[in-house]
Amino acid sequence: MLNISARQLAVFVHTALLGSLRAAAAHVHLTQPAASMALAELERQLGTPLFDRIRGRLRLNARGRELLPRAQELLERHAELARLGADDAALTGELRLGTSNTVGNYRVGELLGAFVHAHPQVSVRLRVSNTATIVAALLDHALDLGCVEGPVTHPALEVRSWRDDALVVCAPPAHPLAARKRLKPAHFAGARWVLREPGSATRSLSERALAALPPGETVLELDQTEAIKQAVIAGLGIACLPAVAVAADAAAGRLCVLKTPFLDLHRKLSVLLHRRAYRGAVLEAFLATL
């Protein structure tokens, strides 16, 4: 009969998520030798290694990837049992959230405000990256949920619509396109564009818009919306940027939002959930605020 402890599961889960036994030991407040013994005992009881040992580093193997979501579920159920048995039933725990750049930098208050106010004892860990990176982290069970800008169709993920969003084409105020009262697609011939990096949802939608315009030139690829905005303000090119990211700069006259009714720049912001991951009390409470 297996006699697996919560401590052993915690060492396994955090070693898998943090990529280091040393980091996992610090997270669960154990010495590294104690954490190593806990992991070794777990593997002994299961009768299989959970990690490949490659040049002194631990890499989750196929069996470990299969067991990771189950171990996470057991730990969450253990925490919920402890909470329900305590006099103070306030929700505690951790929410691991990944967002793409527009959400993480400009809509985080909308996304998290109600939950943080309602559950101040829950620790929120926010990771901001492009859509492709957030999807990969969800598939690896490194995040509880994601909120992204791009369309996602992976069969392992559930997609829930959250907000409408839109891009706008921006130019520096002195740009020739900014002086035209009625723009047409032909006016964009030879335009110099500043784009997001491949893998971002903003890049995908920008490319779709550019396909409806005459050929131009990509002069820069940057991985942050703020960097692209500053490049536009500096006169380095024009760009498709989230409307929410440029509203203040447009109002202040630092850049100009071009009127392009001939381009479809609308999109949906979506919440992503892994279909196989356990949805504990913390995650369900967060979803209820949406």
Considering the chain, tell me which residue range(s) the CATH 3.40.190.290 domain(s) occupy: 166-265
Confidence band of 218 (pLDDT split at 50, 70, 90): very high
pLDDT at 59: 86
Unique residue bearing structure tokens 């943090």: 18
pLDDT at 62: 87
Task: Calculate the average pLDDT of the chain.
Answer: 91
Q: DSSP of 221-234, one letter per residue?
A: EES-HHHHHHHHHT
Q: Which of the four CATH numbers 1.10.10.10, 3.40.630.30, 3.90.1150.10, 3.40.50.10440 does domain 6-84 have? A: 1.10.10.10
pLDDT digits (tens, 9 = 90+) for 24-45: 899 889 999 999 999 999 989 9
Provide the percentage of residues in the chain whose pLDDT is more than 70: 97
For the structural domain made of 93-163+269-288, what CATH number should be given?
Answer: 3.40.190.10
Q: Of the given ranges (8-22, 134-148, 159-173, 209-223), which has the lowest mean pLDDT?
A: 8-22
Average pLDDT of the segment spanning 194-220:
93
Residue 87, burial from CB neighbour count under 10 angstroms (0-12, 13-18, 19+): exposed
Q: DSSP of 242-277, one letter per residue?
A: EHHHHHHHHHTTSSEEE--TTS--EEEEEEEEETTS
Confidence band of 90 (pLDDT split at 50, 70, 90): confident
- This prediction has a pTM of 0.78
Considering the chain, tell me which residue range(s) the CATH 3.40.190.10 domain(s) occupy: 93-163+269-288
Confidence band of 85 (pLDDT split at 50, 70, 90): low
Gyration radius of the chain over CA positions: 23
CB 7 within 8 A of CB 38: yes
* Nearest-angstrom CA–CA distance, 131 and 11: 29
Question: What kind of fold does domain 166-265 have according to CATH?
Answer: D-Maltodextrin-Binding Protein; domain 2 (3.40.190)
